[in-house]
């Protein structure tokens, strides 16, 4: 939970000046209290549904461990995410392996681990069947369906449009299940979609649910009894501080539609969800230090985190609230643009924000940075990635050490002949 102590931002009772003294800046700081609140809100909104956390949103192991201990399953998108989920203690049967381009190596790893697959193409289906036969295993699958619905969100994160690279066009889905039904060692158990991210109304989800039920009714006629319908993740969060759809209201709206159609078509069908952003997004602040303030065409505040650390503003035009974290008790007086240290003009974290007078050495907090934050960071411009910290009950724990220059050098080699 975020608070204030004499003008200084606190996270779960820890002053952030104490944290940065230890970790340097930039640093991501996660509130254990806020994360627990989100997990519990999901569990109370969806008491009889299965919740799989979308690991890609934030796969710090400590955070995965907290989520696993609260009883969530995991949605993974690569071998690395699969490995992290297993390491954090998620049971293989509670893991769904997603992805539109799984390598043979990844498929084999998933089969050996004993996870379920969301299958994105017939090519993938045949590969899974072949490998499962060789491994002597049965693999439970769902198909990722492209339901062709268009949520109002940024085009880069709308994933269920007709022309999207994800999923099997819904018109071809029944045929895919027919093929899967006859193939050895794959068992169709579910139907899956994921329509996009940062969606702030329930209606596109309802459209997708209806589409999946239309298809499921046809699938049932082939003789397949589906056990679950997974409608993916995508519930948005309140980046702008203007209010958003609560987990509870989201649940009420979609459950009424789901339950009605389920009772008509397949009363045993379970509903699964794969939230990512709405679990971790608002749990974390990025703290970055002011290197200089410049009065130019605009008032620029140059900080030590840019799109190498948080890419969302540059990539999605995303809005993040900011504050001067060591001056929370001062009045907002001047308009500033917060710029990162990267040598590209698009490296702007926040534009035209009214803040207290900013000076070199101040700390800027960028809120709601817990989803698609650290995980999308890079070493661009030769900058080591930053640390991650968990704050809980007045204490803080470094959950990822900051990188150093050795990590920049990394696995590079200069061939002998160049010396
Ligand atoms: C990214 C993703 C999610 C999570 O999306 P959020 O918007 O973070 O909730 C869930 N399922 C799949 C298949 C995804 O690709």
- Got the DSSP string for 159-225? --STT-SSSEEGGGHHHHHHHHHHSTTEEEEEEE---BSSB--SHHHHHHHHHHHHHHHHHHHHT--
Q: Is 110 within 8 Å of 127 (Cβ atoms)?
A: no
Distance 275 CA to ligand 1 centre (A): 6
Would you say residue 62 has pLDDT above 80? yes
Q: Are 130 and 163 contacting, i.e. CB atoms less than 8 angstroms apart?
A: no
Which residue from 37, 72, 69, 32 is spatially nearest to 54, judged by alpha carbons?
A: 72
Residue 159 pLDDT class (50, 70, 90 cuts) = confident
Q: 122 to each of 79, 119, 127, 175, 180, how far by Cα in Å?
A: 20, 8, 9, 10, 9
Round to the nearest angstrom and report the end-to-end CA distance of the chain: 55
pLDDT computed for residue 155 by the predictor: 73
Report yes or no: 198 and 237 within 8 Å, Cβ to Cβ: yes
148, 152, 155, 158: CA torsion to nearest 10: -40
**Ligand 1 atom nearest residue 371's Cα:** 8
Q: Per-residue pLDDT averaged across 68-88, rounded? A: 98
pLDDT on residue 214: 96
Tokens of 362: 């101040």
**Mean pLDDT over the full length of the chain:** 96
Per-residue model confidence as pLDDT tens digits over 234-284: 999 999 999 999 999 999 999 999 999 999 999 999 999 999 999 999 999
Q: Which fold has domain 2-29+283-408?
A: Lyase, Ornithine Decarboxylase; Chain A, domain 1 (2.40.37)
Q: Which atom of ligand 1 is nearest to the CA of 274?
A: 10
Domain range summary for the chain, segments of one domain joined by +: 2-29+283-408, 46-277
Check residue 341 and give its pLDDT. Answer: 98
pLDDT of 347 reads: 98
Does the beta carbon of 215 lie inside 6 Å of ligand 1?
Answer: no
Q: Quick check: pTM over 0.85?
A: yes
- Per-residue pLDDT tens for 20-57? 999 999 999 999 999 999 999 999 999 999 999 999 99
Asked if the model's pLDDT at residue 157 lies above 80, the reply is no
Per the CB < 8 A criterion, the answer to whether 38 and 63 are in contact is: no
pLDDT (0 to 100) of residue 150: 80
Please compute the mean of the pLDDT values over residues 206-218 and round it to a whole number. 96
Residues in the annotated binding site for pyridoxal 5'-phosphate: 234, 274-277, 372
Mean pLDDT value of segment 5-10: 98
The pLDDT value recorded for residue 371 is 98
Interval between CA 144 and ligand 1 midpoint (Å):
13
In terms of Cβ atoms closer than 10 Å to its own Cβ (0-12, 13-18, 19+), residue 377 is buried
Task: Report the C-alpha gap between 175 and 342 in whole angstroms.
Answer: 49
Hey, which of 74, 75, 280 would you mutate to test ligand 1's pocket, going by the most ligand atoms within 8 Å of its Cβ? 75
Q: So what's the pLDDT on residue 279? A: 98
How high is the pLDDT of residue 158? 74
pLDDT higher than 90, residue 195? yes
Q: Binning pLDDT at 50, 70 and 90, where does residue 191 land?
A: very high
Instruction: Determine the Cα–Cα distance for residues 310 and 320; give it in Å rounded to an integer.
Output: 10
State whether residue 412 is helix, strand or coil: coil
pLDDT, residue 419, reads 95
Query: What is the pLDDT, as a whole number, of residue 163?
Result: 85
Task: Assess whether pLDDT exceeds 80 at residue 152.
Answer: no
Distance CA(53)–CA(39), nearest Å, equals 10
The predicted structure's pLDDT at residue 161: 78
Q: What whole-number percentage of the chain has pLDDT above 70?
A: 100
Please name the CATH architecture into which domain 46-277 falls.
Alpha-Beta Barrel (3.20)
Could you tell me if the CB of 56 is within 6 A of ligand 1? Answer: yes
Per the CB < 8 A criterion, the answer to whether 142 and 228 are in contact is yes
List, for residues 100-123, the tens digit of each pLDDT value: 999 999 999 999 999 999 999 999
**74 close to 96: Cβ distance less than 8 angstroms:** yes
Which atom belonging to ligand 1 lies closest to the Cα atom of 277?
Answer: 8
| Predicted confidence (pLDDT) at residue 160 exceeds the cutoff of 80 | no
Q: Is 57 in the pocket of ligand 1 (CB under 6 A)?
A: yes
The pLDDT tens digits of the residues spanning 310-349 come to: 999 999 999 999 999 999 999 999 999 999 999 999 999 9
Degrees, nearest 5: CA angle 348-349-351:
75
């Amino acid at each position: 939970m975020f608070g204030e102590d004499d003008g200084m931002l606190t996270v779960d009772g820890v002053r952030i000046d104490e944290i940065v003294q230890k970790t340097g800046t930039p640093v991501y700081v996660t509130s254990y209290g806020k994360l627990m609140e989100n997990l519990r809100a999901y569990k109370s909104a969806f008491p009889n549904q299965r919740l799989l956390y979308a690991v890609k949103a934030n796969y710090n192991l400590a955070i995965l461990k907290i989520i696993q201990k609260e009883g969530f399953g995991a949605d993974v998108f690569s071998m690395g995410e699969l490995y992290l989920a297993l390491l954090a203690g998620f049971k293989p049967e509670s893991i769904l392996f997603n992805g539109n381009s799984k390598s043979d190596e990844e498929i084999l790893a998933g089969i050996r681990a004993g996870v379920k697959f969301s299958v994105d193409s017939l090519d993938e289906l045949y590969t899974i069947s072949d490998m499962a036969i060789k491994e002597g295993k049965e693999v439970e699958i769902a198909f990722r369906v492209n339901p062709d619905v268009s949520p109002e969100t940024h085009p880069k994160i709308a994933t269920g449009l007709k022309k999207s690279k994800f999923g099997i066009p819904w018109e071809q889905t029944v045929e895919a299940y027919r093929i899967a039904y006859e193939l050895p060692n794959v068992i169709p158990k579910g139907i899956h979609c994921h329509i996009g991210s940062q969606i702030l109304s329930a209606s596109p989800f309802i459209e997708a649910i209806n589409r999946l039920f239309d298809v499921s009714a046809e699938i049932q006629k082939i003789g397949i009894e589906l056990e679950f319908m997974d409608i993916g993740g995508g519930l948005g969060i309140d980046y702008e501080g203007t209010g958003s759809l609560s987990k509870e209201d989201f649940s009420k709206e979609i459950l009424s539609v789901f339950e009605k159609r389920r009772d008509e078509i397949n009363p045993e069908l379970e509903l699964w969800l794969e939230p990512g952003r709405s679990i971790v997004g608002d749990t974390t602040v990025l703290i970055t230090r002011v290197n200089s303030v410049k009065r130019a065409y605009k008032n620029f505040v140059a900080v030590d985190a840019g799109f190498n650390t948080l890419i969302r503003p540059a990539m999605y035009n995303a809005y993040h609230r900011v504050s001067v974290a060591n001056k929370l008790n001062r009045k907002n007086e001047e308009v500033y643009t917060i710029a990162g240290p990267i040598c590209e003009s698009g490296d702007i974290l926040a534009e035209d924000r009214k803040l207290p007078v900013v000076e070199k050495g101040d700390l800027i907090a960028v809120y709601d940075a817990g989803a698609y934050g650290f995980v999308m960071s890079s070493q661009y411009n030769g900058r080591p990635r930053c640390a991650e910290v968990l704050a809980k009950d007045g204490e803080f724990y470094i959950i990822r050490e900051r990188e150093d220059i050795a990590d920049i050098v990394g696995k590079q080699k200069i061939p002998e002949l160049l010396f």
